[in-house]
Amino acid sequence: MLMRPSACGLLILACLCGPALADNSLRAPRPVVWKDFLGVNAQFQYFSPSAYQKQMDRLDALGLNWVRLSIHWAMIEPAENDLQLDSLDGAMSAMQSRQYNILAYLVGSAPFAANVPAGATPSDQYPPKDFNVFAQRMRMLAQRYPQVNTWQVWNEPNIVWLPKEDPDAYDRLLDASTSAIRSAIPGKPVATAGMAYYSQMRSTPGLMLEDLLQQGLGNQNLVAAYHPYSEYPEGDDPAAQDFLVRGNFLNSGLHGQGVQQVWATEWGWSSYTSGEREMQAMIGVDGQADYTLRRLALMATMDYQRIFLFNLSDLDARASNRDQSYGLVDLAGEPKPVYRALKYFFEITGPSLAPDTAPALSNAPSDLYSIAWTRPNGSHVWMFWSASGSSLQIPALSAATLHDPLAGTQTALSGAQGISVPLKTSLQLLVW
């Protein structure tokens, strides 16, 4: 999961060094409908039915219905032809009953299928010996679960494959799996693996998605997916706004080469606060809420067609110390601060927003993030934050309501000569 992007894997991105904000404002390329744009990662089949039904209730209360489900080949087929699908059947049936849109991915090699070198420690991170066997398992799953909207082939092969990443081999696995799925269900949407970060690789220069483009990705009617994790919402270097720079450049490159759909199939922050630091600072539950809202606001202005927050629920001790705490809800299904902040955020924005022009500002700090929207009823929502400013003036507004989704509070602002708006490092919403 979280790892600082390697400079050697971002050569093509590193040449972009201009500022991301031209006039303190960002403008989305299109309207956003939250239930179509934002989904969540989930692992329902690894919980009891009563636990995942409660998780689903929480998801429904947010008004969201896209779910990305992980399926580990080694767990559903621990021995060849010994398929253990009862738990997965139950979770798929429950999602179908709630009419969720489902993105599901198969990852890892079953023990009998892994291409483990002689003398090496067995691991499901080795690719399959025969890509057609993996492809046929995906075909079987696609036939068994027609309720799945989109199938995704593997997860983060650019950093997890052993003994090292192999973009050409992954391209062959993707091609075999896509052909197998579509031979069973013509036209079924298929996505590339969610590539870690911007698809840079551990020991091979360049980007794996760039390699796939060279192999014809733009002509294959596939969704391109990656996982833009970073230390802060604005990037690993907030001053350089490197998330905006890298994400916008990669999305533009993919779309420019014929890819119609670009999805960020994982992003988020853990709320862990103890144990060994695992490539992410310990920001706690309040930091998780803050970072999640700021990143969501940024991603809504970018040319993603869909994004999936990691994760709906905290995980148990089978996950690493850090990975146990990415959830919107805890293991008991109870809301964490990030869940409550998102719920307040959606209550204020409503289910959909259209891009708008930010109000004219006085004394705006240079590091202000400013994102303006219009709700369907014609009212305005302005999202903003700043690490350096204390307040700014909006001369043309005489009255507005300021919302702090982290605190769950609202404040009426007014002034005959315009309003004065206090600034915070966290996202606030001004409505008028």
For residues 397-409, give the mean pLDDT.
98
Give domain status of residue 57, yes or no: yes
Of 351, 373, 391, which residue constitutes the final position of a domain? 351
31 pLDDT above the threshold of 50: yes
13 Cβ contact partners less than 8 Å away, ≥ 6 residues apart: 198, 245, 246, 249, 250
As a whole number of Å, the CA-based R_g of the chain is 22
268 in the same domain as 188: yes
198-207 tens-digit pLDDT: 999 999 999 9
Confidence at residue 2, expressed as pLDDT on a 0 to 100 scale:
33
> pLDDT-derived band of residue 95, with 50, 70 and 90 as boundaries?
very high
Q: Do residues 371 and 244 lie in contact, with contact meaning Cβ atoms separated by under 8 Å? A: no
Give domain status of residue 150, yes or no: yes
Confidence at residue 16, expressed as pLDDT on a 0 to 100 scale:
38
Which domain, by its residues, includes 65?
A: 31-351
Give domain status of residue 302, yes or no: yes
DSSP annotation string for 260-304:
--EEE---------SSS--SS---HHHHHHHHHHHHHHHHTTSS-
163 pLDDT above the threshold of 60: yes
Q: How confident is the prediction for the chain on average, in pLDDT?
A: 94
Percent of the chain residues topping a pLDDT of 70:
94
339: number of Cβ within 10 Å: 23
Residue from 199, 220, 205 nearest 266 by CA: 199
**Residue entry with tokens 């600034």:** 423
225 in the same domain as 105: yes
**Residue entry with tokens 């947010």:** 62
61-94 tens-digit pLDDT: 999 999 999 999 999 999 999 999 999 999 999 9
Confidence at residue 18, expressed as pLDDT on a 0 to 100 scale:
40
6 pLDDT above the threshold of 60: no
Confidence at residue 21, expressed as pLDDT on a 0 to 100 scale:
54
Residue from 339, 296, 168, 191 nearest 254 by CA: 191
CATH of the domain at 367: 2.60.40
For residues 354-365, give the mean pLDDT.
95
> pLDDT-derived band of residue 23, with 50, 70 and 90 as boundaries?
low
278 in the same domain as 420: no
360 in the same domain as 344: no
Distance CA 228, CA 194 (A): 10
CATH of the domain at 138: 3.20.20.80
Residue from 314, 315, 307 nearest 336 by CA: 314
Give domain status of residue 11, yes or no: no
Confidence at residue 15, expressed as pLDDT on a 0 to 100 scale:
39
Distance CA 114, CA 167 (A): 18
DSSP annotation string for 123-173:
-TTSPBS-HHHHHHHHHHHHHH-TT-SEEEE-B-HHHH-SSS--HHHHHHH
Confidence at residue 371, expressed as pLDDT on a 0 to 100 scale:
98
Confidence at residue 9, expressed as pLDDT on a 0 to 100 scale:
38
372 in the same domain as 235: no
DSSP annotation string for 313-328:
B---TTS-TTGGG--S
333 in the same domain as 241: yes
129-150 tens-digit pLDDT: 999 999 999 999 999 999 999 9
Residues paired with 31 in a beta bridge: none
332-353 tens-digit pLDDT: 999 999 999 999 999 999 999 9
Tell me how far CA of residue 219 lies from CA of 207, 241, 255, 271, 400, in angstroms: 18, 31, 11, 40, 48
Give domain status of residue 14, yes or no: no
Of 302, 321, 351, which residue constitutes the final position of a domain? 351
**207 DSSP 8-state letter:** B
Residues paired with 153 in a beta bridge: 106
241 in the same domain as 359: no
3-state secondary structure of 58: helix
Q: Do residues 124 and 110 lie in contact, with contact meaning Cβ atoms separated by under 8 Å? A: yes
Domain count, the chain: 2
Of 323, 351, 379, which residue constitutes the final position of a domain? 351
**Residue entry with tokens 């008028």:** 432
85 in the same domain as 205: yes
Q: Do residues 311 and 326 lie in contact, with contact meaning Cβ atoms separated by under 8 Å? A: yes
108 in the same domain as 162: yes
Confidence at residue 41, expressed as pLDDT on a 0 to 100 scale:
98
Give domain status of residue 8, yes or no: no
387 in the same domain as 336: no
Give domain status of residue 21, yes or no: no
186 Cβ contact partners less than 8 Å away, ≥ 6 residues apart: none
Give domain status of residue 17, yes or no: no
251 in the same domain as 166: yes
Q: How far is C-alpha 223 from the chain's CA centre?
A: 14
- Tokens encoding 60: 């429904």
> pLDDT-derived band of residue 245, with 50, 70 and 90 as boundaries?
very high
162 in the same domain as 204: yes
Name the H helices within 300-423. Answer: 337-349
164-184 tens-digit pLDDT: 999 999 999 999 999 999 999
396: number of Cβ within 10 Å: 10
- Tokens encoding 39: 């989904």
Confidence at residue 303, expressed as pLDDT on a 0 to 100 scale:
98
